[in-house]
């Protein structure tokens, strides 16, 4: 531990001011990055979360040490952690193609609250280092994450009149390292012969050549029509 913080680890008027001011700085630093990227929870939200967690942590310590009440110091902090899940859940939304947005913001809010708890407890070193790491995760590591290739799921819409055709298609997908996460029967119509229609949701493990996939499936006996929806 750094000795420069030893004089302000106890709950005093000066240490209270310093801890709350530090909560504003640390929470605001994380919030600025979120506001810059136009995320749901921004500058003010992160400050409020960090300040609230800080005062909750200090209140637990104050009740035990100064008021001599038989209470658990960590009880208020534990409730803060639970409450942060409720706040973070409000930033998570599902957009087109079942993609989820807001998870990073929710995790940042949760981390911001924990940083506030550490600040309120007088663990200044941990709070400062955690803030630096959160900012690195949301900026530098974000750029690295964007460079990672993601194989986006897609759907194969298949019409066939031979039940064995579906088995051949599924076997082909497995051989090509394309996992089938969902199979939905979209219809069946009777004409001269039965024609079946299914939608296969595919999660590829490597890059897919869609033209080759369509050509191969279209050549399977019993397949009437095949379409890929991305």
CB atoms within 10 A of CB 43: 17
pLDDT, tens digit (0-9, with 9 covering 90-100), for 163-209: 888 889 999 988 888 888 888 887 666 556 678 888 888 888 888 88
**Phi–psi pair at 224, nearest 5 degrees:** -95, -45
The SS3 call for residue 65 is helix
pLDDT, tens digit (0-9, with 9 covering 90-100), for 44-91: 999 999 999 999 999 988 888 888 887 778 888 888 888 888 888 778
Length of the chain (residues) = 230
Q: How far apart are CA 106 and CA 89, in angstroms?
A: 7
Architecture of 154-229 per CATH? Answer: 2-Layer Sandwich (3.30)
Rg of the chain on CA atoms, in Å: 27
Provide the residue ranges of all domains of the chain, joining segments of one domain with +: 3-146, 154-229
Q: How far apart are CA 203 and CA 183, in angstroms?
A: 12
CB atoms within 10 A of CB 225: 12
Nearest Cα to Cα of residue 22 among 105, 104, 125: 125
């Amino acid at each position: 531990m750094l000795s420069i913080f030893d004089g302000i680890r106890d709950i005093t008027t000066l240490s209270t001011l310093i801890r709350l001011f530090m909560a504003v700085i640390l929470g605001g630093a994380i919030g600025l990055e979120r506001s810059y990227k136009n995320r749901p929870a921004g500058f003010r939200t992160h400050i409020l979360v960090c300040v609230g967690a800080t005062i909750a942590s200090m209140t637990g310590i104050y009740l035990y040490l100064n008021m001599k009440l038989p209470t658990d110091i960590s009880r208020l902090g534990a409730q803060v952690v639970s409450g942060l899940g409720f706040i973070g859940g409000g930033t998570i939304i599902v957009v087109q193609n079942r993609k989820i947005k807001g998870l990073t913001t929710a995790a940042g809010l949760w981390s911001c609250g924990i940083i506030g708890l550490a600040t309120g407890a007088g663990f200044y070193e941990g709070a400062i280092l955690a803030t630096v790491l959160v900012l690195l995760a949301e900026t530098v590591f974000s750029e690295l994450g964007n460079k990672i290739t993601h194989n986006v799921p897609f759907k194969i819409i298949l019409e066939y009149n031979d039940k064995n055709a579906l088995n051949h298609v599924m076997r082909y997908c497995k051989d090509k390292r394309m996992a089938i996460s969902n199979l939905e029967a979209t219809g069946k119509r009777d004409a001269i012969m039965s024609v079946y229609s299914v939608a296969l949701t595919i999660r590829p493990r490597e890059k897919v050549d869609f033209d080759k996939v369509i050509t191969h499936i279209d050549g399977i006996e019993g397949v009437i029509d095949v379409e890929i929806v991305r």
